[in-house]
Structure 1
């Protein structure tokens, strides 16, 4: 039964990915014909596609809190690659991701076509990335970043990088903190985290072979970025997400990739 379940889930996932590839190809061709930036259209189609992708993953989803009514810089803790479809299905968004994702077969290409911005850790291109983030937000396009800079095991938080939040201050937009948590039988899930030396294919097969897990997403009170420096803004976002995830329990540095 487990093998049958795995094969059926794989078939459904492959069908969704094929649909995403068709959509991405269609938008690319349309952009070449009209010679115009179709980012709003990309974001809407990406949201639709990520909702289909989420439906192909073995999760029950619970969302708390209201969606923002204005463009914001979303910041979230980061546990797995699955954070992206789960959060991206909520509203039209673009993402900031590590450059390695761009090299992933199919998924990297789809992320690029969806308007994802990529950054290389430690490459010194933070100035250029900051300019890209500013332009994105100033055009009224919501953007999501993972200020821990990497995935964790979900049992704690790493320090949020303030430089990634500078774009909210420079663009004058609020920050939308988001807390995402994976559970299995009411306890922290050990299957969902994508950390350490794990590779995409092995993690995907392990996830699809597992029983249904639970995902809780909390959309927290937005933070006004005005009159805050980037480090203070990062601390406030980290504290809000930490409180939502762990309450008053002592914070710890989580295991990271």
Structure 2
């Protein structure tokens, strides 16, 4: 998937001595919490998997704890609007940053649908696999295989979450939604039992910083962006807006369903 390069990235603010101290202690604490809980999750999964299979009654709470603690450790304000969907189905959201993983997991137990290459990324790939991420190749020829995977996971009660833009942006816009994956929700085995909840993620930059401070897109390096976020003081905030779930059976095809989701997500993005 080609990364979005529609805006020039902002210049990174210089990291002061105090900033490096924040990087050291925030990074250490975040690493201990993340990988310590990852070890706990894997131990619990050894018991959970043979007993419950795809059903995960315990480990998602560990993931949520880590994601909530990340915002406490980083000092980023976190707010939520709207109600989380209780019905069986999937979640779609705009994509602005690697922080989206923490943002969207912190309040709702979801399982990400991600491009296959993420599984091989150091660190992030390990975390993604451990937390039940579903890896796919975004290829129309694999639509039937995707539908079978989605059906298995959705019928197990999983809330699958995917980013229909197909790439991350600067967080200040919503790109046209790609419709391919929506076809999987319109199969006979899923169409009449599923809802899709659109979600808008809105980041607010720290005072005095570029509005796209938290955005991570194009060819931006992960390491440099992580250091910038760890060093920031003051921090900004993030707001997660849950929209009214859409009943899949109410839409004639994947294009209509994707358009309705895209309009809902875009409606809550400032400007």
Q: Same fold (TM over 0.5)?
A: yes
Q: Secondary structure at the match of 2:79?
A: strand
Provide the TM-score with structure 1 as the length reference.
Answer: 0.87
Distance 2:54 2:261 in 1: 32
Query: Partner of 1:223 in structure 2?
Result: 246
Structure 1 stretch displaced more, 89-98 or 36-45: 36-45
Q: 1:173·1:224 contact (CA, 8 Å) conserved in 2?
A: yes
Query: Partner of 1:166 in structure 2?
Result: 183
In the TM superposition, residue 18 of structure 1 has moved relative to its aligned partner by 2.1
Q: Secondary structure at the match of 1:193?
A: coil
2:197 to 164, 176, 191: 176
Please give the residue correspondences for 1:2-41 in structure 2 after superposition, counting only pairs within 5 Å: 2-31=19-48, 34=51, 36-41=53-58
Q: 1:58·1:208 contact (CA, 8 Å) conserved in 2?
A: no
Distance 1:186 1:221 in 2: 34
Query: Partner of 1:77 in structure 2?
Result: 94
Distance 2:202 2:184 in 1: 26
Provide the TM-score with structure 2 as the length reference.
Answer: 0.82
Q: Secondary structure at the match of 1:108?
A: helix
1:43 counterpart = 2:66: no
Q: 1:76·1:146 contact (CA, 8 Å) conserved in 2?
A: yes
1:199 counterpart = 2:221: yes
The structure-2 alpha-carbon separation of the partners of 1:103 and 1:54, relative to structure 1 and needing over 3 Å to count, comes to farther
| Count of residue pairs the alignment pairs up | 247
Residues 104-147 of structure 1 show CA distances to partners (whole Å, capped at 9, x for unaligned) of 22221121011100123448434322221122112222111111
Q: 1:43·1:94 contact (CA, 8 Å) conserved in 2?
A: no
Query: Partner of 2:80 in structure 1?
Result: 63
1:156 counterpart = 2:173: yes
Q: Which runs of 5+ in 2 are unaligned?
A: 1-17
Q: Secondary structure at the match of 2:97?
A: coil
Q: Which runs of 5+ in 1 are unaligned?
A: 250-257
Distance 1:158 1:197 in 2: 18
Query: Partner of 2:265 in structure 1?
Result: 241
Q: Secondary structure at the match of 2:204?
A: strand
Distance 2:177 2:170 in 1: 16
The structure-2 alpha-carbon separation of the partners of 1:107 and 1:93, relative to structure 1 and needing over 3 Å to count, comes to same
Distance 1:77 1:196 in 2: 15
Q: 2:49·2:56 contact (CA, 8 Å) conserved in 1?
A: no
RMSD between aligned residues: 2.3
